[in-house]
Structure 1
Amino acid sequence: MCCRMFFWMDVFIVLVGVFVCFSLGAKYHHERHQIMRGVDYHYESVGELASSSSWIKQRHDNDQKSEKGQRQRHNKHALRLLTPMSEKKLWGGGLWPSVFNVALKASIAVNATCGQNGREEYCKLVDAHPLRARGSQCGICDDKSPDQEKRHPIVHAIDKTDKWWQSPTISNGLQYEHVTITLDLGQLYQVLYLMIRSGISPRPAAWIWERSLDGEKYTPWQYFASSSHECERLFGMRGHTGKYIFKKDTEVICSTQFGKVLPLESGEIHVSLINGRPGANSSSAEILEFSMARYVRIKFIKMHSLIKNGPVEWLLDEQAMAKRSFYSVKSIRIGGRCVCSGHAKECRNITPGNAQCECQHNTCGANCDECCPLFNQQPYRPGNATHANECEMCQCHGHATSCRYNSDVHQKGLSVNVLGEISGGGECLDCQHFTTGVNCEKCLPGYYRPHQTQPDAPIPCLPCDCHPLGAVESCNPNGGACVCREGFTGPKCDRCDQGYQGENCTKCRCDVRGTMPGGECESHCQCKLHVEGEKCDKCAPGYFSLSSTNPEGCLKCFCSGVGVSCVTSTIDTEITSSPEEWKMTDLSQSITAYPARDNTTGHLYFGLYEMPEVESVYWVAPEVYCGNLLSSYGSRFIVSIAWVIVRGDTSGKPTSGPSIIIVGSNGMKIAFGDEIFEDSNTTLEIFLKEDGWYHVPRSVKDIVTRLRRTEYRGDPVTRAQFMSVLSHVQSILIRGTFHTDQVESVLEAATLFSGETILSDQSLVEMCECPIGYRGTSCEACAFGFARILEDSSTHEKLGKCIPCDCNSHAETCDIDTGRCSQCLHNTSGDRCDRCSVGFYGNPLAGNVDDCKRCACPLEDTSNNFSPSCQLKAPDSQPLINFVSMDGEDFIDLTNISTTQDYICTQCPPGYIGDHCEKCDDGFYGEPTVVGGSCLPCPCSGGPCHPLTGKCIICYGNTEGWQCERCKPGYWGDPELGCDLCECYQNGSISNICDPVSGQCICNSRFRDLRCDKCANCPACLCNKNGSLSGICDHITGQCTCKNGVEGHKCDQCMETYYGFGENGCQ
């Protein structure tokens, strides 16, 4: 009976086991299929090689043949997806090498191996049960056994055989639940995935996948556990099952995907390190750094057989389970590729076990992590999904083999690329062929580039051929012209310059600028006409600007005809150029038109059809070009101009006319040039010096261009006339008509220079010593307080004279006809600036800048100047100057002027006293002499107060306090109006003091009202209606007011000798 019971129990257990294994096994195969689909997708997204199929073809060697066929069909699908990816760029712009099993190149180690310390028995965890008799599922581990089947070293995990590595069982100690496998890949790789296939034991229940760059410091790639609870317990993080979308490229998670105990043998783990991360398809720098490793570590920390209430716990007792608790690994595959920074698609073995990138994109280095020596025009950048970021070649013109990127060179725009564009920061190193510079574009000192020689010529630079004594250290690098020392001249500086002599070209005694030609080295210097001195080195009195180009040596001082002495002005060169506010006109400036602007070029253009009645049109320069142009004497006016001629074969021809016309405020009109131009554009270079200039007669209103007449040419312009025009230019006209068939005039640019020294050794601008009444570099303007009177002159000069104004030196100029002064300065007013302005005092007739001083009443500060006017006062404090009102305006009667500087403020406001409103009047307080202070009324209800603090001295109206701001005790009301006596009813109030504001007395319990003079809660009067006058009794005693002849408290009885009590009282 007992045997029969065990038999059926055994059958039941077998059936249950078969059902469980079948169910879980089916689920496992479905999951494995989903995993492999994920692996294939992973390969496709990162471009792994089809060689990985060798791992797929080898897995599940102990499965059934039907499973094998299905697996082969799966591998065929993977090959179809992977093969095309190995032949093209990955992720768009960059290049990446193929993915291969880098574990094959690794050295592998483990900290524990079954049988390493002697024979060890173990048993499989496959369909085991203590009540069921079955074939032996146990074996022996012995690392020293000659039988290879009993040896399970760690190398079996990567040797591509069907053998496996196995750890000691925990029957040898619980420490063997923690086993670590370490792979040294030999060099850095980018790791993309991990595949592990277990041997004769289940997959680990919990483990960690780690990486390291140096073999010392390891960081986790991913955690694994059998459940989310185990993730929390072991690693302190939430568990995730299935495909996970990472939030960032470096996120580390705990996965439960491979945490099931089944299958009990040959279980597989497939982990992608890249898929699902944000940068998976962009090759981000963050994901590249995260996936790089040389050392890979797999740390097993938990077995399924040791998990309480686990799915196999019911199978065996604890002792039997200990022999069946171990790890085994048949294969470890690590998908990786060489780290080539996105610049290589091949990685070759240069030595056994060492792979190196075959760099492209002009990159170099073991990891293509730098630009090749001659390709550093731009900073190095790794390739990414959209951009190859190839290294750009430096432009060294063939004279250097290496360069470097310099950010300062880039920022300053000093480098050109191979296209000749200013771009990048490439700086050539060790320039050859005697070149130097950022791009080897220059010649070294002592060398030059001949004209027409390109920078990339094989021999771009030649040595300078300069005389060793006559030239400085090097020649001009462009063309080779020698730079001569003082005293030498010639292309090679091999002969003495004018004014020098001898082998060393020493300077002659005579100044070449002022000496007659040929006599510079004579013993006695022969000076030019307007030069003097023993060495002919200074201008004669009345002359300036000593120059070798002037035949007379020096230029005569102009000084507007009023000065006789001048020197050369030291001014800097300046330019004036503006495209704004140009206009069009005719010669007489009787018509005005406006040009248009070309927004592309900025040029101004004008159609001549807009002025059909005018033969010659002119451009009118804006005011910025006009005014005082004496500083431009000897300088240039450069104008770029063009014109459009009607198309077709016409009979038209070029015209002549003045190139420029200057009109002075003195009425003179002078012009320069009358050239004929065959082209349709030109650049006019006009020197502002009298040579070649001529007068334009007033009678000429237009220039008849078709006849080429020259009636516009008048007398030559003298220096004095030219200077007088430049002293105040009213308008400048630029020629706009150049052809009889012209339809349009175009102004491209106009530049006015000042301070140039092109025509002379020194500036031609004079600095005169002006007489009283004149000012300016050439005494061209009247000094302050003077006015110009123009005089008629047959020489066109019309210089005029400056005469003093009767303005007491307080106005810049005045009207010559009326004598009225221009705007009075120095705080004065009046037609002759002979009065101090309101708010000021003094004697304006003294003619000094500070004659009129601001009234300080008592301070000049606006906040403390309380009187709008003041006046001088006599020593006896009696004013001698009075303000008089005439036509509503105040002015000062100056009939009696005092020399004293004291003054009195005349309009101190109420509350202020003293000569300067510096004190407060009686009834006021404050500090008006302190900024921000003022005089305020005493707040004492009409009583006096302290003049500074405002504290009340005497309080009126029954008040008290600092400012009499409250009523005295026993008084009430408004302190400003005076306080009233409280008048509290003596019997009805507690005291005679009431509320100081309302006047309410403090009442006893039986009294009320303001003065406590009314009864509160008192009994009724009960006065007799017939005997009392009103029915109202005394509010204290209750006594009624009785009629005649009536008495009693209530008026209810007749007095003695009275009778007949009734409505009329008693009789």
Structure 2
Amino acid sequence: MMTEPQTYGIQSCGGCVPCHCNSFGSKSFDCDESGQCRCQPGVTGPKCDRCAPGHFNFQEGGCTPCQCAHVGNNCDGNTGQCICPPNTVGESCNKCAPNHWGHDIMAGCKACGCNQVGSMTQQCNPNTGCCMCREQFHGEKCSECRLGYRNFPQCISCNCNVAGSDSQTCDAHQDVCTCADSTGQCSCKANIQGLKCDQCKLGTFGLSTRNPLGCSQCYCFGMSSTCTEAQGLIRMWLSLKPEQTKLPVVDEANQQETTHGVTFQHPEIIVNADLVTQKLTEPYYWRLPEQFQASMITAYGGKLKYTIYFEGHDETCRTSYEPQVIINGGANRNKVMVHHMQGLQIGQLTRHEIDMTEHEWKYEDKKAMTRKDFMDLLFYVDYVLIKGSHGNMMRHSRISEISMEVAEEGRPSVESERAHQIEKCNCPLGYSGLSCEECGAGFYRLSARSGGAASRVGIGSCVQCQCNGHSEACDPETSICQNCQHNTEGDRCERCAPGYYGVVRGRPGDCKSCACPLTNHENNFSPSCVTEGLNNYHCTACPEGYEGKYCERCATGYHGDPRAPGGKCEESCDDDCAGLLISDMDRLHRIITSYQPHHPSTTATQSPLPV
């Protein structure tokens, strides 16, 4: 089916429709299938019914070109008078008017539209249209608050604490974070609170940028839930001693070890793979020496550093996947944590720095480590292993620059920065140490089997020293009393010391000095005595020439008065008569004094002794 020349639209639902081409502007009365008529020169429009840009005077035969080359042939459509495009200035209309941009010879310039509050000036960049914003404003037109500000157009600073704010809401380079537009509440990390995210939640401490939770949970061996960040500590480095030129190489379980194939070439310790595999199978590890063992609680928040290098028999030698570092420990030596990292490159010296926090370590099953278990392990480190084998094509590997940061008391300096992220717990009575890991003065540790909160980590609870009231100090591990007072002795200060007698009942005067027969040095002739009943005693080591319960009289063949201050027993002369006379006088003296009442005394001037 054919359409007439003056119609179009055979494909439309309504059939053919008239073209309606303008008789002045069209070359003919027919059009194409879209309805576009064929226009005369300088004419435009679907029906050819108006002048095209740069032309004027629509009439039969078309439009006349503008004679305005200096303004882009832009003229009045009726008169042909030359005119500038919108918002332009200059003799040739070649510049944008003030506060406009984007000069176009036909379309002119666009208004800058800079926000009056947020912009430093109403003039924008003439090429991009971007406005110059004040410090707290942002956006192409300065119509938004910059990151770290809120509540346009006031744009008040959020002042969020970057260390405590969720990193997803912060710009690390600008060191600023966003906040809620109406309230100013910053988006806090899990263990942080406060409008500005600048406070640790109760039971946490040590606000730190490095901590994804913001603050660390108080550990305190379960003895306390309150702590603060320890003050007065600095970071120091544990490293190999000069004489430690060889490290043992062990299997992954630390069950077998060897130094076969291990040599020292300053500053590196080298293992020859061909030799060591005669003793061990892969994977094998360097084991760090004793200074990296035992209590390492102050290593928390520090770094483990070392440098590794290895070469292979084959240029394409690939490293194996096993953990790069293994640490075993805990009070029961039953906790293991591992650190994985990208495999080493053959022939490339690699320096490692590993944060000593739970966020960098995993359990053997690759699950995330908890702070509690991490601290349990640091309480007692049994061993630290660093991987020494890197694939079965390895020829040798080298390790050097091994060190671990710990904390100790001191003043910060260029070499030793202040230590952070170490807790100082508010310990209950009987516990001391940064994390309540030690027994306080006057307390000792029970075995872990005895129960108690501390038994959770296998260290046992601390209980008061049992010293019968005669000492406040005992060995924190064995419980044996130290520095027994009030003339007592024994593991529990449970008996009187030599030269004293009495029943130990927990009072300062329990043990009294033995009077043998007097308490002054010149008249105390026995170094020991034993208690009789509740309030009496007898001397047990009277020297030769003395006799009696209290060494209070001279033996036969001796004479003198040991009960008199300065008195003593002396051997009698050999003259039979003199000896007999002296013996009779002593017997007479005893008879006389036996009628005097006796009361034990500790003074040197009064005899306590019955005869």
Q: State TM-score, norm by structure 2.
A: 0.50
| Alpha-carbon contact 2:407-2:419 (below 8 Å) kept | no
In the TM superposition, residue 568 of structure 1 has moved relative to its aligned partner by 0.8
Q: Is 1:777 matched with 2:439?
A: no
Residue 338 of structure 2 corresponds to which residue in structure 1?
A: 671
- 1:856-895 matches, within 5 Å, as 869-870=528-529, 877-879=535-537
Distance 1:600 1:936, change over 3 A: farther
Distance 1:610 1:508, change over 3 A: closer
In the TM superposition, residue 723 of structure 1 has moved relative to its aligned partner by 0.7
Give, in whole Å, the separation in 2 of the partners of 1:798 and 1:917: 59
| Alpha-carbon contact 1:911-1:924 (below 8 Å) kept | no
Amino acid at match of 1:678: Q
Larger mean Cα displacement after TM superposition, 586-595 or 536-545: 536-545
For residue 344 of structure 2, give the secondary structure of its aligned residue in structure 1.
coil
Residue 566 of structure 1 corresponds to which residue in structure 2?
A: 227
Residue 399 of structure 2 corresponds to which residue in structure 1?
A: 747
Residue 250 of structure 2 corresponds to which residue in structure 1?
A: 585
For residue 656 of structure 1, give the secondary structure of its aligned residue in structure 2.
coil
Residue 682 of structure 1 corresponds to which residue in structure 2?
A: 350
Distance 1:923 1:822, change over 3 A: same
* Aligned partner of 1:941 among 567, 573, 592: 573
In the TM superposition, residue 744 of structure 1 has moved relative to its aligned partner by 3.4
| Alpha-carbon contact 1:597-1:603 (below 8 Å) kept | no
In the TM superposition, residue 727 of structure 1 has moved relative to its aligned partner by 0.8
Residue 715 of structure 1 corresponds to which residue in structure 2?
A: 367
Residue 283 of structure 2 corresponds to which residue in structure 1?
A: 616
Residue 208 of structure 2 corresponds to which residue in structure 1?
A: 547
| Alpha-carbon contact 1:639-1:683 (below 8 Å) kept | yes
In the TM superposition, residue 513 of structure 1 has moved relative to its aligned partner by 5.0
Deviations 1:20-56 (CA, angstroms, capped at 9, x unpaired): xxxxxxxxxxxxxxxxxxxxxxxxxxxxxxxxxxxxx
| Alpha-carbon contact 1:920-1:928 (below 8 Å) kept | no
Give, in whole Å, the separation in 2 of the partners of 1:670 and 1:811: 35
Distance 1:878 1:591, change over 3 A: same
Amino acid at match of 1:878: N
Deviations 1:407-428 (CA, angstroms, capped at 9, x unpaired): xxxxxxxxxxxxxxxxxxxxxx
In the TM superposition, residue 631 of structure 1 has moved relative to its aligned partner by 0.5
| Alpha-carbon contact 2:545-2:570 (below 8 Å) kept | no
Give, in whole Å, the separation in 1 of the partners of 2:209 and 2:378: 25
Residue 153 of structure 1 corresponds to which residue in structure 2?
A: none
Distance 1:514 1:675, change over 3 A: closer
Deviations 1:613-661 (CA, angstroms, capped at 9, x unpaired): 4111111222221111111101011123333534xx4764322322211
**Equivalent residue pairs, number:** 388
In the TM superposition, residue 749 of structure 1 has moved relative to its aligned partner by 3.2
For residue 385 of structure 2, give the secondary structure of its aligned residue in structure 1.
strand
- 1:386-425 matches, within 5 Å, as none
Give, in whole Å, the separation in 2 of the partners of 1:519 and 1:526: 4
**Bigger radius of gyration among the two:** 1
Distance 1:752 1:552, change over 3 A: closer
Q: Is 1:724 matched with 2:382?
A: no
Residue 970 of structure 1 corresponds to which residue in structure 2?
A: none
More helix by share: 1
In the TM superposition, residue 770 of structure 1 has moved relative to its aligned partner by 2.1
| Alpha-carbon contact 2:500-2:528 (below 8 Å) kept | yes
Residue 80 of structure 2 corresponds to which residue in structure 1?
A: none
| Alpha-carbon contact 1:584-1:620 (below 8 Å) kept | yes
Amino acid at match of 2:207: L
Distance 1:600 1:737, change over 3 A: closer
| Alpha-carbon contact 2:560-2:567 (below 8 Å) kept | yes
* Aligned partner of 1:766 among 423, 440, 460: 423
Deviations 1:720-766 (CA, angstroms, capped at 9, x unpaired): 111110011111112111232224343323211113999x9971111
Residue 359 of structure 2 corresponds to which residue in structure 1?
A: 691
Distance 1:865 1:635, change over 3 A: farther
For residue 722 of structure 1, give the secondary structure of its aligned residue in structure 2.
helix
Residue 80 of structure 1 corresponds to which residue in structure 2?
A: none
Amino acid at match of 2:239: S
In the TM superposition, residue 873 of structure 1 has moved relative to its aligned partner by 7.8
| Alpha-carbon contact 2:513-2:519 (below 8 Å) kept | yes
Distance 1:522 1:874, change over 3 A: farther
Deviations 1:187-220 (CA, angstroms, capped at 9, x unpaired): xxxxxxxxxxxxxxxxxxxxxxxxxxxxxxxxxx
- 1:342-491 matches, within 5 Å, as none
Give, in whole Å, the separation in 2 of the partners of 1:537 and 1:636: 25
- 1:637-676 matches, within 5 Å, as 637-646=304-313, 649=314, 652-665=317-330, 666=332, 667-676=334-343
Amino acid at match of 1:786: R
| Alpha-carbon contact 2:263-2:270 (below 8 Å) kept | yes
* Aligned partner of 1:625 among 292, 296, 299: 292
For residue 755 of structure 1, give the secondary structure of its aligned residue in structure 2.
strand
- 1:278-357 matches, within 5 Å, as none
Amino acid at match of 2:391: H
Give, in whole Å, the separation in 1 of the partners of 2:563 and 2:396: 77
Residue 110 of structure 2 corresponds to which residue in structure 1?
A: none
Q: Is 1:787 matched with 2:446?
A: yes
For residue 573 of structure 1, give the secondary structure of its aligned residue in structure 2.
strand
Give, in whole Å, the separation in 2 of the partners of 1:587 and 1:861: 70
Distance 1:625 1:533, change over 3 A: same
- 1:1027-1066 matches, within 5 Å, as none
For residue 547 of structure 1, give the secondary structure of its aligned residue in structure 2.
coil
Distance 1:683 1:536, change over 3 A: closer
Distance 1:599 1:533, change over 3 A: closer
| Alpha-carbon contact 1:923-1:938 (below 8 Å) kept | yes
Q: State TM-score, norm by structure 1.
A: 0.31
Give, in whole Å, the separation in 2 of the partners of 1:729 and 1:722: 11
Give, in whole Å, the separation in 1 of the partners of 2:519 and 2:276: 62
Amino acid at match of 2:339: F
| Alpha-carbon contact 1:843-1:851 (below 8 Å) kept | no
Give, in whole Å, the separation in 2 of the partners of 1:905 and 1:534: 79
- 1:799-948 matches, within 5 Å, as 799=458, 801-802=460-461, 804=463, 807-808=466-467, 811-812=474-475, 823-827=480-484, 834-835=494-495, 846=506, 869-870=528-529, 877-879=535-537, 906-910=540-544, 923=559, 938=570, 941=573
Give, in whole Å, the separation in 1 of the partners of 2:308 and 2:446: 41
For residue 695 of structure 1, give the secondary structure of its aligned residue in structure 2.
coil
- 1:139-288 matches, within 5 Å, as none
Give, in whole Å, the separation in 2 of the partners of 1:942 and 1:540: 94
| Alpha-carbon contact 1:595-1:604 (below 8 Å) kept | no
Give, in whole Å, the separation in 1 of the partners of 2:164 and 2:542: 73
RMSD after superposition: 5.4
| Alpha-carbon contact 1:547-1:762 (below 8 Å) kept | no
Distance 1:807 1:852, change over 3 A: same
Q: Percent identity?
A: 25
Structure with greater contact order relative to length (CA < 8 Å, sep ≥ 6): 2
Q: Is 1:576 matched with 2:238?
A: yes
For residue 392 of structure 2, give the secondary structure of its aligned residue in structure 1.
coil
Distance 1:572 1:651, change over 3 A: closer
- 1:19-98 matches, within 5 Å, as none
In the TM superposition, residue 670 of structure 1 has moved relative to its aligned partner by 1.0
In the alignment, structure 1 segments of 5+ residues that lack a partner are: 1-495, 500-506, 697-712, 815-820, 880-903, 944-953, 959-1067
Give, in whole Å, the separation in 1 of the partners of 2:530 and 2:371: 55
| Alpha-carbon contact 1:810-1:833 (below 8 Å) kept | no
In the TM superposition, residue 682 of structure 1 has moved relative to its aligned partner by 2.6
